[in-house]
Structure 1
């Protein structure tokens, strides 16, 4: 795997996108954050004609991202940088998809490779500061470990941008770089100034080295000596001409052998020194696409596709009309064209599919956070416990209280965002209208999917917007107002996105593992044919039982969270057995639950539990 980009094929001043970053520039980026752009500023020498500008992180979230698949567990990367100032605060300039490793430019312009998070562990730190107002280069190697203690990193600093000798090298082994191999790398902006970058590259082969070397080969003049032999003299004759000795110098750099004089062949001896030749800048040439003729098989259906068949011509024959006596009439076949209505097949995007980076929020199919026009500054109420109703009752005549059940109230999640219209403040109202439309208050009691990712896996809840606050202040005047959105979730629990299915056979017991930190309510499918089905959670000693007979094509669907039991659209709660708990009181506690199933007859198709891990904090 090798991906590189010189930005040479862009347009000065244009934003860098996935569609315009390939071609003669190199490998197109797979995604980007905010609005990185092409620029000719400082694009001189080997950096010409264009470089990339990552705007000040104070007012943007510029980044350039490549996806990749490694052949092993090691990735190498290269980045040329032009610093016009020192960062206003420590800035992550490279991060990878598993968020196990950061490369950070410090305020003193030294570079570190660390773990990630709020208290990162430093693996290596340079003592060399990157220079100001000139191009320099960094290269790094990241080895993903198979355990939390056998990863490795190496950092190389080149204050002379295209040197093949590092100014400083730092190495660390036995460090925790994560055990999951990364699948993407982002080159990020810094705080305090616009960072210029060029000749970005990643590979899984070896160190990348300088992007280009500039040198000239100059061969020296080659001296060649010749001699004319004395001619043979016969008796009675005088030599004419006399013996001639000559020395010739052959002009540089051409050397010719086999020269002749009037006397005889001139032998030339030359030694040509081997010139040192170094490769200059190499430009990739993109081959023209070659059209190929092939027969295309019938297309398959994929997510989000629309199938629209054209008009279908159908031939029909109109029966001969009635003929009166004495006449002959022959009716011709009449072609008829029938138009088949367009068939539209759509597959919805699953909740959470849009969220790919930490700190991103997806609400009702709209994404906020990095890579969008809305930077998420703060989220409250998501990682903390919701308000708990304490069911304890105080003892009137002694210390303490009688213990009661503790139940969570609704979860209130506040998302503070900043609209990013700084490059054109006149568009700020359009951005706010877009946000207000996505965060509108529903007209009924329905709730929307809310998916948030921190540093770990994504979690989902369901809620509705109950407040939207925005001010026309100083930030608004420069196109970067702060907006606060409050979402109320009636079910205080957050859930993992993975749905687990456990099938329990009649007369047997199976384990249902809830990996969350609080109880979760499963969806229970009791499959016919069976009579008087009964499901027991042996861990909680609770029975869910129904006095009903199901046919072979019937399924009793019990939603323990909603407290319903239906066959199709018909309500079957009236068949709940006297010894059964209400469906709302039948749940899976955190950890392992032993589930058994029985039926007085039938039951060969078993019972299925579908559930998601649940979390309160």
Structure 2
């Protein structure tokens, strides 16, 4: 599933500091579910180290650090409501935190930064039943989530789009010399901003007519390129997180990637500005209908 099409920003609207939303379940301020401790959220996830020990010297050769799964724990949860409806309140908590195959949006709003998003699923729920349960109070409850993608995201989806490079329009000419001046109708270049400190995976959509569409990230040096001719209005969607490249009918074009193309899952937007170029086969004149569009969320550790 393309996660950039899910309206998580709408789910975040109205949240206040101290609230956590998991799917439809709201926890924290203003709810029957209060909490005192959140673990694993403002913590770096564990990492796999690519360091290799030096054979004849102290230390190691520096390698990559790859983040592992993030575990998020909500401890010291207090559930409180009137005794006559306490069963329904506990049932709502149970229904909102089931064992599931798919991950759901987990939104955490702690402070003035606003909510951040992770995709997670529940791995533990503990609601202790003690004497106070009979009067509508549970203390010491706990929830735990596991996020296979350890990054946290801004809920809002960002967008960028550009066409192929075009020559200057006729009216962009000098009145005396007739030479082109000014800027072309499209440069084929666009800047994508990742406002976080972690690389993020965009969804890239090539729209025809275009032959051998390519998107180059000059900031990272990585490239997506496919040996295919897209018809007018035809779209090739590349989900770099899922590692897929599909046409609207579901046909995969992964095997049509050129030798210059990087594996889809390695094509990310670095923190900060990413300078992108949309290019195509030089033997075919640029069509103004051809375009590339990107969708992404800024990512944070």
Query: Could you state the TM-score of these two structures normalised by the residue count of structure 1?
Result: 0.42
Question: Could you tell me how far apart the structure 1 residues matched to 2:46 and 2:114 are?
Answer: 24
What SS class does the counterpart of residue 293 from structure 2 fall into? Answer: strand
Q: Deviations over 1:371-403 (max 9, x none)?
A: 111112221111111111111111132111112
Aligned to 1:56: none
Give the equivalent residue in structure 2 for 1:607: 292
Partner secondary structure for residue 516 of structure 1: coil
Q: Per the alignment, in what secondary structure is the counterpart of residue 160 of structure 2?
A: strand
Count of residue correspondences: 266
Q: What residue in structure 2 maps to residue 454 of structure 1? A: 110
TM-aligned CA distance change 1:464 to 1:407, over 3 Å: same
Distance of 1:373 and 1:437 partners within structure 2: 15
Which residue, out of 498, 506, 510, partners 2:164?
Answer: 506
Which residues of structure 2 form unaligned runs of 5+? 1-6, 166-187
1:529 to 209, 219, 232: 209
Give CA deviations for 1:492-525 in whole Å, capped at 9, x if unaligned. Answer: 1111011111112213322111001110010001
Partner Cα separation in structure 2 for residue 588 and residue 580 of structure 1: 16
In structure 2, how many angstroms separate the alpha carbons of the residues matched to 1:573 and 1:377?
47
The residue that corresponds to 1:539 in the other structure is: 219
Aligned to 1:273: none
1:357 aligns with 2:16: yes
Name the structure 1 match of 2:123.
466
Aligned partner (choices 404, 412, 427) of residue 71 of structure 2: 412
More helix by share: 2
Query: How many Å separate the matches in 1 of 2:8 and 2:267?
Result: 31
**TM-score with structure 2 length normalisation?**
0.83
Partners in 2 of 1:350 and 1:509 — Cα distance?
Answer: 28
* Contact 1:355/1:453 (8 A) holds in 2: no
* 1:474 CA drift (Å): 5.4
Distance 1:428 1:506 in 2: 61
Q: Structure 1: which 5+ runs fail to align? A: 1-347
| 8 Å contact kept, 1:533–1:603 | no
Q: Is the Cα contact below 8 Å between 2:8 and 2:155 reproduced in 1?
A: no
Kindly tell me: are residues 538 and 373 of structure 1, through their superposed partners in 2, closer, same or farther at Cα, counting changes over 3 Å?
same
Change (3 A) 1:351 1:460: farther
Matched, 1:374 2:33: yes
Larger radius of gyration: 1
Out of 455, 459, 480, the position equivalent to 2:137 is 480
CA deviations over 1:90-112 (Å, ceiling 9, x no partner) = xxxxxxxxxxxxxxxxxxxxxxx
The structure whose RCO (Cα within 8 Å, separation 6+) is larger is: 2
CA RMSD after TM alignment: 1.9
TM alignment of 1:16-415, pairs within 5 A:
352-353=11-12, 355-415=14-74
Deviation of residue 431 (structure 1)?
2.2
Preserved contact between residue 355 and residue 452 of structure 1 (Cα < 8 Å): no
CA separation of 1:370/1:470 partners in 2, compared to 1, >3 Å: closer, same or farther? same
Q: Are the equivalent residues in 2 in contact too, given 1:504–1:595 (CA < 8 A)?
A: no
CA distance in 1, matches of 2:8, 2:200: 25
Q: Is the 8 A contact 2:8 2:105 kept in 1?
A: no
Give the whole-Å Cα distance in 2 for the aligned partners of 1:389 and 1:399: 21
2: CA distance, partners of 1:531 / 1:411 = 41
Q: CA deviation at 1:476?
A: 3.6
Q: Among 583, 591, 602, which residue is 2:272 paired with?
A: 591
CA distance in 2, matches of 1:399, 1:480: 58
Q: Structure 1 pair 487/356, CA: closer, same or farther in 2 (3 Å)?
A: same
Q: Give the distance between the partners of 1:441 and 1:354, measured in 2 at CA.
A: 26
Distance in 2 of aligned mates of 1:437 and 1:449? 16
Relative to structure 1, is the Cα distance of residues 589 and 551 closer, same or farther in structure 2, using a 3 angstrom cutoff?
same
2: CA distance between counterparts of 1:409 and 1:349?
24
